[in-house]
């Protein structure tokens, strides 16, 4: 039997850089929200210990793929999974290298789904601890609720920002995070503020001026979107998004977009679609 699990994208609704540690890591304040849009991962249990990704990604070796790494990590951490394997399929919709969290989301979906399918019985806290070894954003997807992150991204608290509609667009490039953080003109002194203060203020992304300066595609896309709605970079890019109060308003702008714009419309949600599916699966099992 094959089971299907969502792997949602995320947005950084705001991102402020408040300082830099002696080890070079930047101190942040950022707000994560999920989208009701993303990849789908499908699983079929095996009777042996083999873990197979049947839809490999081009130019990404299996040993670097977070889907395979997450499955192997859980297999090693779960006694009930010791004699079991899995076949995995990925239906990829989240643009790679766009700052939408696709790889981290995939890893979290593997941990959540296989924890249930293999009946490992690990808590979300235990899964998040495993996920942190795979990537800094994996725990956010494991916990499955919109979150305010501080420090270097490791201090999380649940948040409930407005669930707006977004037009998310990809400029057709990828941006390596170190390129943004290494720029000498990057703003690194935003004041530390409380979540309530930040939610009541206009949102901004401190990485955006650098992305616009260094990548003309980002500058071109944001300049176009800003004609219609408040628009920002997500994370360190390359994707940008415009916010709307209704789906129809977002789709109207997308429908009149120039031919070079590649994008989609989705709603921001504070409870991850992954956790909704998990709750439904658990309910079905208990009946």
Show the domains of the chain with their CATH numbers. 2-159 (3.30.230.10), 165-269 (3.30.70.890)
The whole-number pLDDT of residue 96 equals: 86
Cα–Cα distances (Å) from 106 to 69, 165, 203, 218, 235, in that order, read: 11, 23, 27, 25, 18
Give the span between the Cα atoms of 168 and 241, in whole angstroms.
Answer: 4
Beta partners for 37? none
What parts of the chain have a pLDDT lower than 70? Answer: 81-83, 286-287
Are the CB atoms for 43 and 69 separated by under 8 Å? no
Give the span between the Cα atoms of 267 and 193, in whole angstroms.
Answer: 27
Question: Tokens 């977004």 — which residue?
Answer: 166
The whole-number pLDDT of residue 82 equals: 61
Are the CB atoms for 199 and 278 separated by under 8 Å? no
The whole-number pLDDT of residue 280 equals: 87
Token couple for 202:
């206009």
Beta partners for 86? 45, 51
Active centre residues (catalytic): 10, 137
CA atoms within 13 A on the CB side of 230: 12
In 92-235, the DSSP E strands lie at 147-151, 155-158, 165-170, 231-233
**Sequence-distant (≥ 6) Cβ neighbours of residue 44 within 8 angstroms:** 1, 2, 3, 86, 87
Helices (H) and strands (E) in the chain, counts: 10, 10
Q: How far is CA 230 from the centre of its chain?
A: 21
Positive or negative, the CA dihedral 227, 229, 232, 234 is negative
**Start-to-end Cα distance in the chain:** 19
The whole-number pLDDT of residue 183 equals: 96
The whole-number pLDDT of residue 60 equals: 79
The whole-number pLDDT of residue 81 equals: 67
The whole-number pLDDT of residue 287 equals: 62
Are the CB atoms for 119 and 84 separated by under 8 Å? no
H-state helical runs in 89-184 = 102-117, 124-132, 138-143, 177-181
């Amino acid at each position: 039997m094959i089971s299907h699990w969502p792997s949602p994208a995320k947005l950084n609704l705001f991102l402020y850089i408040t300082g830099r540690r002696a080890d070079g890591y930047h101190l942040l304040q950022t707000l994560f929200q999920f989208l009701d849009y993303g990849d789908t991962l499908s699983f079929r249990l095996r009777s042996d210990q083999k873990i197979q990704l049947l839809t490999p990604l081009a130019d990404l070796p299996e040993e670097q793929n977070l889907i395979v790494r997450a499955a192997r990590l859980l297999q090693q951490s779960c006694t009930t999974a010791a004699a079991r394997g899995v076949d995995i399929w990925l239906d990829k919709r989240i643009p790679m290298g766009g700052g939408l969290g696709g790889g981290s989301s995939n890893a979290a979906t593997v941990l959540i789904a296989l924890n249930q399918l293999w009946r490992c019985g690990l808590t979300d806290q235990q899964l998040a601890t495993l996920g942190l070894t795979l990537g800094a954003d994996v725990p956010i997807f494991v916990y499955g609720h919109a979150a305010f992150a501080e420090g270097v991204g490791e201090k999380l608290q649940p948040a409930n920002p407005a669930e707006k509609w977004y037009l998310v667009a990809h400029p057709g490039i990828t941006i390596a995070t170190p390129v943004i953080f290494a720029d000498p003109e990057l703003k690194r002194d935003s004041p530390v503020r409380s979540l309530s203060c930040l939610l009541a203020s206009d949102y901004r992304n401190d990485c955006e001026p650098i992305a616009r300066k260094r990548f003309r595609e980002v500058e071109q896309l944001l300049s176009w979107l800003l004609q219609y709605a408040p628009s920002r970079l997500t994370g360190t890019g390359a994707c940008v998004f415009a916010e709307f109060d209704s789906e129809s308003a977002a789709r109207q702008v997308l429908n009149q977009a120039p031919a070079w714009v590649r994008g989609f419309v989705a709603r921001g949600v504070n409870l991850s679609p992954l956790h909704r599916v998990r709750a439904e699966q658990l309910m079905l099992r208990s009946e």
